[in-house]
């Protein structure tokens, strides 16, 4: 599943082609993805100018005056900006046609989703969609820091990795990046969240920010199906310290990387470097 850096990479890739351009048509090749596609998408979006492309957690919002199209890439979804005569593939479910821009001709924003776990929904103006209403802060903003983690973790017995991956605490710290941030901060992912000190949470928050920012610049981890908007894979995956390296030697101390399942997710750590 694309994680926050992959989704942010997608946003940065498509926004220059979308912002300020008028939608001329919406083509839906099926009525649903994970959920039914609301009629507002095809009824209200054509004729509107896209004012901005925003990311909230792993969702993308195409903002217009009459509302916002809300997209999620699901397990294997992909958004590409293409010439309108590009042949349609079997899993190309949605085309949002765009008028000619300042520096390029007409284009289509094509949503491809082989597994159909993604979604295309609608958010009326002045409202917050229910999927976004209870989300925690963005990890790359000032609203997220070690003090927040420390305060919210008091009295919690859940493993710190599961706590960090809770979208009500902070959004977008998925399985890969939680494992990597905990390694960088020297914290055992199995440790109870309520037992981690304020100072260690300060370091963990800093490492989350550093690793996510670095991953965005490197194009994300690209496990399985995900590609950048230009079709090129991300390369951060090659630089992971613990994730997916069970049995291999720690790059810092030489101890074999261990693996355990927490919350039905594979978790990787170094028993010597992480306490």
Q: How far apart are CA 120 and CA 113, in angstroms?
A: 11
Active-site annotation holds for 58: yes
* Dihedral sign, Cα of residue 168, residue 74, residue 206, residue 195: positive
Q: How far apart are CA 58 and CA 138, in angstroms?
A: 10
Q: What's the Cα-to-Cα distance from 243 to each of 6, 166, 234, 237, 270, rounded to whole Å?
A: 17, 19, 16, 9, 10
Active-site annotation holds for 200: no
Q: Is 238 annotated as a binding residue?
A: no
Active-site annotation holds for 2: yes
Given the residues 49, 190, 209, 265, the one annotated as active site: 265
Q: Is 151 annotated as a binding residue?
A: no
Q: Is 272 annotated as a binding residue?
A: no
- The set of long-range contacts for 26-29, using a CB threshold of 8 Å and a minimum separation of 24, is 26/94, 26/95, 26/96, 26/97, 27/94, 27/95, 27/97, 28/93, 28/94, 29/88, 29/92, 29/93, 29/94, 29/95
Active-site annotation holds for 137: no
233 secondary structure, DSSP code: P
Q: What torsion, rounded to 10 degrees, do the Cα atoms 211, 212, 218, 221 define?
A: 100
Given the residues 21, 58, 110, 200, the one annotated as active site: 58
Map tokens 């420390």 to a residue: 150
- Residue positions annotated with a catalytic role: 2-3, 58, 265
Residues annotated within the binding site are 91, 115, 156
Show binding-site residues for DNA.
91, 115, 156
């Amino acid at each position: 599943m694309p994680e926050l850096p992959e989704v942010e990479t997608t946003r940065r890739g498509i926004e220059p082609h979308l912002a300020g351009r008028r939608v001329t048509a919406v083509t839906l090749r099926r009525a649903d993805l994970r959920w039914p596609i609301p009629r507002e998408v095809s009824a209200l979006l054509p004729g509107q100018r896209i004012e901005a492309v925003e990311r909230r957690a792993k969702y993308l919002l195409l903002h217009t005056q009459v509302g916002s199209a809300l997209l999620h890439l699901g397990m294997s979804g992909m958004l590409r900006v293409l010439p309108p005569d590009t042949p349609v593939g079997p899993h190309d479910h949605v085309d949002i046609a765009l008028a000619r821009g300042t520096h390029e001709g007409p284009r289509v924003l094509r949503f491809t989703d082989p597994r159909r776990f993604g979604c295309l929904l609608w958010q009326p103006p002045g409202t917050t969609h229910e999927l976004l209403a209870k989300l925690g802060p963005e990890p790359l903003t000032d609203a997220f820091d070690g003090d927040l983690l420390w305060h919210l973790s008091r009295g919690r017995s859940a493993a710190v990795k599961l706590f960090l991956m809770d979208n009500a605490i902070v959004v977008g710290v998925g399985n890969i990046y939680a494992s990597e941030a905990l390694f960088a901060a020297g914290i055992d992912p199995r440790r109870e969240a309520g037992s981690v000190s304020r100072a260690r949470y300060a370091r963990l928050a800093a490492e989350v920010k550093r690793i996510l920012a670095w991953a965005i610049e490197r194009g994300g981890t690209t496990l399985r199906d995900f590609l950048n908007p230009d079709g090129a894979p991300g390369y951060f995956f090659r630089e992971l310290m613990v994730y997916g390296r069970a049995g291999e030697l720690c790059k810092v101390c030489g101890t074999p990387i261990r693996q355990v399942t927490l919350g039905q997710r594979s978790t990787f750590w170094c028993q010597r470097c992480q306490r």
